[in-house]
């Protein structure tokens, strides 16, 4: 659980530092996805897995040089904070 939490905090820190480039954010979101998928005690229907996958897919659909809008960043932060809670 610590691994998941630390990866979420790292992603939130990036957003707080106004990092909005797809190539900079993607590794942090993928790290959260990997940590969630490998944690043995999470139920398979845990909504956080679906939320993070949605963001991984969203980011993969963009170019590395694209930047997320303020609205997208706020939603991303909100969603990953909810995964942590």
Three-class HEC string of the chain: CHHHHHHHHHHHHHHHCCCCEHHHHHHHHHHHHHHHHHCCCCCCCCHHHHHHHHHHHHHHCCCCCCECCHHHHHHHHHHHHHHHC
Give the pLDDT score at 10.
95
Rounded to an integer, the average pLDDT of 54-62 is 96
7 has pLDDT over 80: yes
pLDDT at 85: 82
pLDDT tens, residue by residue, 12-51: 999 999 999 999 999 999 999 999 999 888 887 889 899 9
pTM, entire model: 0.89
Q: Other C-beta atoms within 10 Å of 44: how many?
A: 5
Instruction: Determine the Cα–Cα distance for residues 51 and 28; give it in Å rounded to an integer.
Output: 14
Q: How confident is the model at residue 65 (pLDDT cuts 50, 70, 90)?
A: very high
């Amino acid at each position: 659980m610590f691994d998941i939490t630390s990866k979420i905090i790292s992603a939130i820190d990036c957003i707080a530092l106004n990092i909005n480039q797809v190539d900079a954010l993607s590794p942090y979101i993928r790290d959260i996805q990997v940590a969630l998928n490998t944690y043995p005690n999470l139920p398979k229907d845990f909504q956080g897995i679906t939320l993070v996958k949605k963001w991984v897919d969203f980011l993969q659909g963009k170019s590395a040089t694209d930047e997320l809008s303020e609205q997208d960043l706020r939603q991303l932060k909100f969603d990953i904070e909810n995964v942590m809670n």
